[in-house]
Structure 1
């Protein structure tokens, strides 16, 4: 039986179905489900950001890492709140659910997060949001190829 299931979540119907399936698998156990939202935030180390911020007067010649950390924290909290509001109709009383937000490419972030935090299983929708991702290659297919744990694909 699984103790920790990771559910990549992008607000699509397949992701919602995957979350419902993962929660159903964990009900009546002491296991937990983590909902992972992968976002691609701004890259503060990019030269374009540094130049634009200096030109606008937002920051001086060097970036204020405390300000950047506060912005990241605020963005993460907003995403957690958005996901929490979105999944409240799926989660039932007694379900053990964590919500995590990471910055990066969905393909690698999902696999890395599952490996680093030692999840037993990844439950994900067969198709997520976005036409471009579908054209470039399925996140689900990539996770299936790279993951070192079982992947439950839900339609």
Structure 2
């Protein structure tokens, strides 16, 4: 079985009751809103990853202000003509504040749009689950950095 681990860092950026999101484009063309962020390069510090990814996906310069938590997901897959796979994603979530830049979409990446959304409108957006996890961590600030949305003890 092929095993894959991906470590990534994501930004929760809220100001004036709005959250900054990037629209992710899946391989099948489906578009859903997500937190700005992405995969950590080998040898890269996670705080540098989130700064780099925010700029790539939104045009803004960002500064991490707090480590909100760490989320882990695991998925298995079966693909034609390949061995079964076991994927684990380790997602580090930071609160960030913007220090410069201007809003613009990413070109040639995994997202095609960046935008501010009122917090009250988030439940109606086509979004990935990470948005809800990030907002939960931002609102609740759990001492161990684990969202109640992913904690099996709360299931």
Question: If the length of structure 1 is used for normalisation, what is the TM-score?
Answer: 0.25
With a CA cutoff of 8 Å and minimum separation of 6, indicate the structure with the bigger relative contact order: 1
TM-score, length-normalised on structure 2?
A: 0.25
Q: Which has the higher helix share?
A: 1
Tell which structure's C-alpha radius of gyration is larger. 1
